[in-house]
Amino acid sequence: MAVTVSLVAVFGLVLFFLLRSKELGYGSAFIAAGFGFFLAATGAAGPINQLTGDLIHAISNL
């Protein structure tokens, strides 16, 4: 039986542990970029863009 894991989940998990252990360097930047790249290709991209736009709009109205 083959088990497949989404690259978003893998990059997210690795990034979580890198941030938690405070080991931030060039490798962490690569992991964060990969996580963002693969996250943008998922169905979560639309709600994340909407939330970001709403936050920017709310901050500009303060």
Output the pLDDT for position 5. Answer: 60
Q: Calculate mean pLDDT across residues 20-31.
A: 75
Per-residue buried b or exposed e for 2-23, using 16+ beta carbons within 10 Å of the residue's own CB? eeeeeebeebbebbeebeeeee
Classified as helix, coil or strand, 61 is coil
Average pLDDT, the chain: 76
Q: Calculate mean pLDDT across residues 16-20.
A: 82
pTM score over 0.85: no
Q: Calculate mean pLDDT across residues 24-53.
A: 76
Q: Calculate mean pLDDT across residues 2-20.
A: 73
